[in-house]
Amino acid sequence: MNLKSLLRGTFRAGVSMKGIDGLLEAIGGVLLWFIKPSEMSWTIQTLCQHELSRDPHDFVAAHLLHVSERLAHGNPIFASIYLLSHGLVKVLLAVALWLDELWAYPLAIVIFTCLFTFFGKPSTTARVDQVEAGSAAAMRLRNSRLATGGIICSAPIIITRN
């Protein structure tokens, strides 16, 4: 196997993963459009209950449970439209790249870069000096910084200054 075929295979694997990710996002958007958020929250809680009973600190189950609780109290229209459009763009670009359409290469670079820079940022937007020093939120934020080496990357903590 020469270097060119290895690079081509790696590229196709990456494009395939992007396409599968886009397909899953589009399916999630459609499900979010038609299924009530309270029903989805109940389903996720039911699925995560066993795992959390075995390990209360399970990262994936705890975050899924947190997202389902936020989703149950929110408006799913924006999330549904976002997931559907974002997923379809990924799928269409992945198919075009697989078919070696020349116009898809620069378009994919621009779109994936824009999507990453706009949506790839950590969702935690607060700093410790924006909240009261002794508050529980400041302690959670400080602990998350310590656990990640100073980089805030945990999604559940979103603190705004009033």
pLDDT, one tens digit per residue, over 12-21 is: 999 999 999 9
Identify whether the C-beta of residue 124 lies closer than 8 Å to the C-beta of residue 153: yes
**Which residues, 6 or more positions from 103, have their beta carbon under 8 angstroms from its beta carbon?**
96
* Percentage of residues in the chain having pLDDT higher than 70: 72
Which helix (H) or strand (E) element contains residue 21?
Answer: helix 3-34
User: With bands split at pLDDT 50, 70 and 90, how would you rate the model's confidence at 130?
Assistant: very low
24 and 87 Cβ atoms separated by less than 8 Å: yes
pLDDT in tens, 43-94: 888 888 888 788 888 888 888 888 877 777 777 888 888 889 889 999 999 9
User: Given its phi and psi angles, is residue 157 left (phi above 0), alpha (psi -120 to 50 degrees) or beta?
Assistant: beta
In Å, how far from its chain's centre is CA 136? Answer: 26
Predicted model pTM: 0.59
End-to-end CA distance of the chain: 60
Residue 129 pLDDT > 50: no
Q: For residue 121, is pLDDT > 60?
A: no
pLDDT given at position 155 = 37
What is the rounded average pLDDT for all residues in the chain? 75
Cα four-point dihedral sign 53, 55, 61, 66: positive
List % helix, strand, coil for the chain (3-state, nearest 5). Answer: 75, 0, 25
Q: For position 127, what pLDDT does the model report?
A: 42
Neighbours of 147 (CB within 10 A): 12
